[in-house]
């Protein structure tokens, strides 16, 4: 385990070396109440960045209630302004409702539906709040899993966006997303959050159903035992490779329904929400 100071320096270096945030930026940290986003919120504030928090209340029973309570307490203690977005007020129903309706119709896993909705809301709110950067708590283990999942699901091009800063898409309707914990091991973030006694839940979401991701995690755990440092090498080698190539940034258009940045005429979020209409 890295020492506290070493861990903090690793995050600071990532932010500086990859030019993730500058001191003039208005920074919005997407706070789930988990160890990763709480750690990144704490550290960016400590490093002197202009940070505010954004919590999407998914209304998943006592799980969401506890996370909101934790985030509220933490932000109050740290003197950080917190914005809370209620998914029912925004979209007409709790995440459990939206997932059951949309997921059933589309045959999608609930984590997929939740992910699309969260990303859309985060981007929309970040624009409304005038944020220059949207920060998430993704760590190195998350990155390694995503790389492998995309490879095995035959959507390797999706990996081109898996960088410390989302640089593939540049658009005024798309607030750049940055990941200061990109090079931090999950176990190090966990230990740091525990040592710092952050008020966070360590269990996973009660609705989590990403079986494939868990299988990949187990496989990577196995490989890590056999080849220590495997995940780190995988993420760093990939990053090295991508930065040597000129990546086609792809063309951005605006969704006909919601007006947000999209690759297709109708964005993924509106396609999902469109399916919901049929249940009304
Ligand atoms: P996940 O997709 O749940 O693995 O979360 C990845 C990142 O998304 C977290 O580290 C947070 O930065 C952000 N995030 C997840 N859930 C929420 C939420 N309910 N509200 C705000 N940000 C979130
Ligand atoms: Zn749309």
Least confident segment among 40-44, 228-232, 243-247: 243-247
- The strand pairing partners of 201, in sequence order, are none
- Cα 246 from Cα 4, distance rounded (Å): 37
pLDDT in tens, 143-197: 999 999 999 999 988 898 899 998 545 567 889 999 999 999 999 999 999 999 9
Angle between helices 211-226 and 230-244 (to 10 degrees): 100
- Give the SS3 label for residue 266: coil
Q: Which residues contact 192 (CB under 8 A, 6 or more apart)?
A: 4, 7, 39
pLDDT in tens, 86-145: 999 999 999 999 988 887 777 788 888 999 999 999 999 999 999 999 999 999 999 999
Residue 198 reports pLDDT greater than 50: yes
Mean pLDDT across the chain, nearest whole number?
A: 91
Q: Which residues contact 47 (CB under 8 A, 6 or more apart)?
A: 12, 15
Pocket (CB within 6 angstroms of ligand 1): 30-32, 36-37, 54-56, 58, 115, 118, 136-138
Superfamily for domain range 4-277: HUPs (3.40.50.620)
Going from the Cα of 166 to the center of ligand 1, the distance in angstroms, rounded, reads: 16
pTM of structure:
0.94
Going from the Cα of 139 to the center of ligand 1, the distance in angstroms, rounded, reads: 12
Residue 276 reports pLDDT greater than 70: no
In this structure, the number of other CB atoms found within 10 A of the CB of residue 27 comes to 23
């Amino acid at each position: 385990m890295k020492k506290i100071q070493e861990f903090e320096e690793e995050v600071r270096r990532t932010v500086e070396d990859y030019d993730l945030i500058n001191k003039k930026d208005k920074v919005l940290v997407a706070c789930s109440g988990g160890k990763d986003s709480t750690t990144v919120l704490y550290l960016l504030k400590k490093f002197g960045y202009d940070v505010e928090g954004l919590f999407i209340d998914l209304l998943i029973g006592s799980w969401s209630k506890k996370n909101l309570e934790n985030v509220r307490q933490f932000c109050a203690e740290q003197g950080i302004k917190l914005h809370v977005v209620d998914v029912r007020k925004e979209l007409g129903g709790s995440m459990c409702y939206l997932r059951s309706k949309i997921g059933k119709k589309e045959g999608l896993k609930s984590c997929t539906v939740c992910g699309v909705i969260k990303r859309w809301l985060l981007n929309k709110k970040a624009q409304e709040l005038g944020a220059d950067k949207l920060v998430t708590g993704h760590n190195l283990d998350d990155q390694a899993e995503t790389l492998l999942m995309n490879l095995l699901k035959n959507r390797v091009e999706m990996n081109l966006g898996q960088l410390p800063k989302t640089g593939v898409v540049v658009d005024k309707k798309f607030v750049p997303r940055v990941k200061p914990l990109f090079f931090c091991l999950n176990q190090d973030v966990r230990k740091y959050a525990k040592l710092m006694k952050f008020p966070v839940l360590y269990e996973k979401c009660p609705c989590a159903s990403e079986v494939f991701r868990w299988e990949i995690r187990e496989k990577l755990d196995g490989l890590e035992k056999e080849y220590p440092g495997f995940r780190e090498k995988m993420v760093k080698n990939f990053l090295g490779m991508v930065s040597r190539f000129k990546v086609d940034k792809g063309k951005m258009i605006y969704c006909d329904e919601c007006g947000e940045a999209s690759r297709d005429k109708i964005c993924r979020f509106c396609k999902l929400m469109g399916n919901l209409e049929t249940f009304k």
